[in-house]
Amino acid sequence: MSNINTYFTDFLQDIRLTENQRNDLKRGHSTLRDRLMSDESLSKYIVTTFLQGSYRRSTAIRPVGDKRADVDVIVVTKLDRNSVTPQKAIDLFIPFVEKHYKGKYRVQGRSIGIELSYVDLDIVITSAPS
């Protein structure tokens, strides 16, 4: 039975993110979140940010080849979901990503994807519950 445990432990070690990858993800999302909260134009709309997805749940697996791990950053705003369309919300964030991530972002439907050399970040904008 101990061989099975060893094989399983080895398997997990082979597919989990490395310490360097985890550090890169943390650096990427921490920098993004700090920039969002201190941005003069956006901070007045932002209630909080939090992480979601496989990175947050500690179920992210090591990317293969030239792919990078990703982090989903949820931005909870004071924007009124009844009067501000998803596109208008995205448009509010475009000057921010132009300033900090010019040439490294793309709008992906209702989120903004940022591609850095060491991590992919997704900004998902939502409104606070009423």
List the catalytic residue out of 34, 70, 80, 91. 70
Q: Is 70 labeled as catalytic in the residue annotation? A: yes
Question: What percentage of the chain carries pLDDT values higher than 70?
Answer: 98
Encode pLDDT of 28-44 as tens digits. Answer: 999 999 999 999 999 99
Structural domain boundaries in the chain? 2-127
Catalytic-residue membership of 66: no
CA distances from 108 to 7, 30, 96 (A): 39, 21, 16
| Burial class, 92, CB count within 10 angstroms (exposed 0-12 / middle 13-18 / buried 19+) | middle
**Residue 80 bears catalytic tag:** no
Domain spanning 2-127: CATH 1.10.10.10: no
pLDDT tens digits, one per residue of 61-73: 877 777 788 899 9
